[in-house]
Amino acid sequence: MFDIFIDTHFAGAHHLRDYPGDCEKPHGHNWKVRVTVRATSVDQYGMGIDFKVLKKIVKHAIDKLDHKDLNTLPYFEKQNPSSEHIAEFLFADIKEELTSDSYQLYSVRVLETDTQGLTYYGPQN
């Protein structure tokens, strides 16, 4: 079993609707993101997933958030663009593009700052 990851980032603005504090005001973050794929085997090149392939898929998802006002995006119209919901959004978007019998998306980690964040493992069955 191999856990293969890439780290990336995006900048974006948001505000948390009806939040009792400063985060209700528009503000921004430079979010850091770690995407981890779990592979059960390696291919003929010795790779669980080619980093180039994973980076392309993740970039496609990140570009939907980068330098945007997250509150204006359809996914966040009815739910706050919290780190938790951002992780769910990224997980769903990336998972849709990952197609293989030998690997699957394992987790998406989202950090608002260097010292606080979360890891999302996808919906539990």
Active site includes 29? no
User: Which residue is catalytic, options 15, 85, 97, 112?
Assistant: 112
Residue with tokens 């700052």: 113
| Single-letter residue type at 50 | D
Helices (H), the chain: 51-62, 83-97
Catalytic residue among 27, 60, 67, 96: 67
Contact 37, 105 (CB under 8 A): yes
Q: Is 23 a catalytic residue?
A: yes
Strand order through the sheet with 68-69: 68-69, 2-14, 27-39, 103-113, 116-120
Using the structure block, give the residue that is written with the tokens 């939040």: 19
Annotated catalytic residue within 15, 23, 85, 97: 23
Catalytic residue numbers?
23, 67, 112
